[in-house]
Structure 1
Amino acid sequence: MGNALVPTSPPPVPDAAADGPLLFGCVLDGRGGCRDVDWNTARSWTPSRVGEVLWLHLDRMYADLDDWLTETLDLNEATADVLLSNETRPRAFREKDALVTVLRGINFNPGAEPEDMIAMQIWCDGNRLITLRRRRLQTPRDVYAELKNNQGPSTSGDLFTLLAEELVIKMNRSIVDMNDRIDEMEEDHDCDIEDLLSEIASIRRNCLALKRYMSPQHEAVLTIQKSSPPWLSEENLTDIRETGERLRRYLEDLDVSKESAIVLQDDLNNRAQAKMNQTMYMLSIVAAIFLPLGFLTGLLGINVGGIPGVESSNAFWITCGALGILMGFQFFIFRKLKWL
């Protein structure tokens, strides 16, 4: 259970509009495989033997789903609201032998930002496991594909553990991508600083967005360990503990990414400030050199009588030579003062 699944293309699943809220449903055979069921069968399903497990993956936006949850599954309204809510932070709690869990997974849908994490609600009593989502989520379909290939979980505890584990494992891709990009920016000295600063700001926002859901998700995993129902085996609890440790490590990686982005941002700001200071310094030197020259040429250009050299044809060249000597003397003084 501790190994990541290799993504595969899941088999076609029923459309929710054509089969009520059901995206796909199956009954685990206890040997890593399953058989599909439709919504009519699932609504009134009861186990035919000990250990038989029904898994339903539902679209929680279906209008009459709350009635089925409260009437068929005998859930109270508060629990049904948790399972159908669109804005729920990750959490977990136990009701008798049932476990209610809200988890978040990375959004890999085309055109979506990965940090826009998708909520998936899970309800399981050991015989039935219900997963509910609003937007398409990759993890349930990957697990379903494993079941169709007879390589999936065999019990409700294994199924629950694998779903939680895969949701967390897929977070690593976004975190690694951010870390790799930060490393690339640290090595890139030719890119425009404004572009880098804009990208760093985006990475910092992504870190905050991921941490917003990953921190309570870590707390939810800890809650599952403390209040585990009887259908979770010791092996399942071990896997859940490892999932919590992996999630904690990802949180630490996010903190490192955020701190690295801050350090890089400060370095880029310092480089931009140093470049601006160097430019201002050179402008100040140029102004200091031309200030006395401008003063002399302005003085000689006043329109009053008595300006020396007016009658001499060599006065212009003499003035230019004197200005050149003055400029050379200024350069010598600036060098002596180590201003240049």
Structure 2
Amino acid sequence: MSGFGYRITDGKVERVAVKAALSCTADFVWVHLTSNEAEAQAWLRDQAGLDDYVVDALTASETRPRCEAFANGALLNLRGRSTEEVTSGDALASVRIWAIKGRVYSVTRRALIGIAEVEKEVEAGEIVDPGDFIAAVSTAITSDLDPHVADLGDELDDCEERLDANRVFDLRRTVTRVRVAAIGYRRFLSPQRAALEKLATLPGAWLAEDDRRHLAAAADRAARMAEELEAIRERASLMHEALTDLRSEQIDGRSLVISIIAMIFLPLTFITGVYGMNVADLPYAQKPWAFDAIMGLCAAIAVLVLGYFTRKHWFQK
């Protein structure tokens, strides 16, 4: 079973194995598991003594951000960026947390960048209770995700500046990627904001006032990112429509050129086809000036057709 534990006693921080984390009393204990195997479920149920409902919530295969008060603690599911590869439909990895007075249990399937940052804060002695821990996790997740949301907006700004019919395919790929990322992030950030706001208002002495303020600030930051992602999604949709229009105009322009060329050569093809027939008694076929006359006639027809199209403004974009 993979994972680690921390025990804090009288300000002293000690990193221990998972199985040894609960072996003695401590002011604050944090146990983190990175597995959803039956062994982890058995440890949470038998060794940690957690309720079956809590164990199922911590090890569920499908989760969404939520907060729920249960008994004397709180269940919290959050989403953050992972160092491991994720799918487009599940853009953020989950962390499931059960917090009671003096103890926190967390479970992840993939390594979260936010958890690594929180671990550094624990080792530095900056986290001494469950309220500090949850506030640190929510702050670390939103702080890590915020610049990446801003990068999506910057990429879209760059696409808008480079909007050109000759770059339609490259720009469309970028816009599609940005739009998919924005949809994937927003799918979790909106409920995550609601979960953090609910947690900040839950009754309980293990959440101090400064922890509640940090949670409210993280919820506000998540709300701002969700709004920005919605704006990015709408801008990406409009950008995609603009690129489609540019592509259509480009195709229409090329079709127009082809049509004009065909219109010019249509009468020329008819004349040359007639005089190319291997039959007798063609008018002026035996005259020495016939070839020059036919070529002159073809040139005159071409000039007349081009003049007509120019007068009708077919060449204007």
**TM norm structure 1:** 0.84
Partner of 1:46: 25
CA distance in 2, matches of 1:255, 1:338: 43
Partner of 1:174: 148
8 Å CA contact 1:185, 1:196 repeated in 2: yes
Counterparts of residues 1-340 of structure 1 (less than 5 Å): 20-21=1-2, 23-29=3-9, 34-47=13-26, 52-109=27-84, 111-112=85-86, 116-150=91-125, 152-189=126-163, 192-340=167-315
Deviations 1:132-164 (A, max 9, x none): 1122122222222233234x2233211111112
Following superposition, the deviation at residue 40 of structure 1 comes to 4.0
Larger helix fraction of residues: 2
8 Å CA contact 1:59, 1:132 repeated in 2: yes
CA distance in 2, matches of 1:322, 1:143: 86
Where relative contact order (Cα < 8 A, 6+ residues apart) is larger, the structure is 1
Unaligned runs of 5+ in 2: none
Residues paired across the two proteins, number: 313
Q: 1:134 to 1:330 in 2, by over 3 A?
A: closer
CA distance in 2, matches of 1:84, 1:249: 30
8 Å CA contact 2:54, 2:98 repeated in 1: no
CA distance in 2, matches of 1:240, 1:189: 41
8 Å CA contact 1:118, 1:137 repeated in 2: yes
What value does the CA root-mean-square deviation take over the aligned residues?
Answer: 2.2
Letter in 2 for 1:162: A
Following superposition, the deviation at residue 241 of structure 1 comes to 0.9
Q: 1:331 to 1:62 in 2, by over 3 A?
A: closer
SS at match of 1:43: coil
Deviations 1:212-258 (A, max 9, x none): 22222122112213324221011111111111110011101111111
Following superposition, the deviation at residue 175 of structure 1 comes to 1.2
Following superposition, the deviation at residue 94 of structure 1 comes to 1.0
Deviations 1:294-337 (A, max 9, x none): 22222222333221222212210111112212222223333332
SS at match of 1:61: coil
Q: 1:26 to 1:339 in 2, by over 3 A?
A: closer
Between the aligned residues of both structures, percent identity stands at 25
Following superposition, the deviation at residue 101 of structure 1 comes to 0.8
8 Å CA contact 1:59, 1:133 repeated in 2: yes
Unaligned runs of 5+ in 1: 1-19
**TM norm structure 2:** 0.90
CA distance in 1, matches of 2:140, 2:114: 6
CA distance in 2, matches of 1:194, 1:60: 42
